[in-house]
Structure 1
């Protein structure tokens, strides 16, 4: 997992690096944490073009650029990059939502919040790395779980809607995959459709619109359970 820290105060570069390395042993069997540090936004952006960091601790008030504007440029390149704003001022809090910040931390950093948010970021990173090998009509296809928008099943067949396209195949081999998807951010809204909660664009009564503009109906029996699952998912983001 590639992590960048960008702050014009050397103290916080060392402080955040030290906190990450102190927690690294927790994940040594699951994921390695690689850390780069930067004292200005221009150097970070240049490095990001090549390394595509997964998580960035970003000071909002840098000497050379505004952190919020820098975050927008980073998300233009890699939308799922997790950005944790670190600042001495709460005045930018609302702006952090505009760029879909992962978290907003006030200096000096609190141990419990820092630890919890790093754990949450690692868990989300692991989710992004999870892949399935689907037997499709064009052969076995490796698909990242976060690229799956929803799965449609019908008589002896399935259709898998992804950010890369739509795949088809026989139903029986992927039934176990459907059960495994439910352990991630997926919910079976009716007998035929299992959706990725992260790809829901909007909800209107018992209808969801997905990120690919497909409109799906939630069964009456599933609606209450779906709402609970969806809001629980949002709380964790």
Structure 2
């Protein structure tokens, strides 16, 4: 996750950056953060998923103007405006602002980050070679589970379609754990987003499939599933 802060005052810039770093560390989220003192520097390197953008910048720069330029480039970056003048918030409809953060209440950033992560963390693709050597693109937000099938891995999507690819289930588990997937037992990785029911011995997925929880993984699964629900469940 790439996050940018555009703030001309160093004290505020560093304070906001520290909040973001602490949040991502506590949530175990991989991130990159770029701190900019002006809009020109930001627009030179505008590859960000989320930007915290001050409305009133030095040298006559305006956060709304920067946001409009960003939209014109076709980037899908979410914009959280920073301001000490909340009356300016009414102009945000022009650029479809994601949030307004009052600088006097930076604790509001936690809710903004929670909401953003909830919508973005699984909006990613992975690529793997199928049994015919063809590179397949798999969308994580529609991937229900991965299971071993002989020496291959079976990727089952929520809609019911499937593909068989090369790979190690343990390596794939490590790769996907930051995106809400958990290796529930030796043969299965499941998307926690689609778990409907949990009891002491098994889980039930949204398609009705029941999978036993590995004995050695039970405690870790319960801990990770609880953390996932705390952040992402409505």
TM-score, normalization by structure 1: 0.54
Give, in angstroms, the shift of residue 34 of structure 1: 1.1
- Higher alpha-carbon Rg: 2
Tell me the residue number matched to 1:41.
Answer: 39
Q: Partners in 2 of 1:127 and 1:74 — Cα distance?
A: 23
1:71 counterpart SS class? helix
1:24: how far off? 2.2
Paired with 1:69 and 1:144, the residues of 2 have a C-alpha distance of: 34
Count residues with an aligned counterpart. 151
Whether the aligned pair in 1 keeps the contact of 2:82 and 2:102 (CA below 8 Å) is yes
- Tell me, in whole angstroms, the C-alpha distance in 2 between the residues paired with 1:84 and 1:177: 32
SS of residue in 1 equivalent to 2:86: coil
Matches within 5 A, 1:104-143: 104-111=100-107, 113-130=108-125, 141-142=136-137
SS where residue 8 of structure 1 aligns?
Answer: coil
Report the Cα distance in structure 2 between the residues aligned to 1:26 and 1:129, rounded to whole angstroms.
22
1:55 is matched with which residue? Answer: 50
Shift of 1:131: 5.4
DSSP 3-state at the match of 1:101: coil
CA distance in 2, matches of 1:174, 1:98: 41
Matches within 5 A, 1:71-82: 71-82=67-78
Unaligned runs of 5+ in 2: 143-153, 161-189, 195-233
Runs of 4+ in structure 1 off by over 4 angstroms are 130-133, 143-146, 173-176
- Cα RMSD after superposing both structures: 3.1
**Which residue number in structure 2 is paired with residue 16 of structure 1?**
16
| Cα contact 2:127–2:135 (8 A) shared by 1 | no
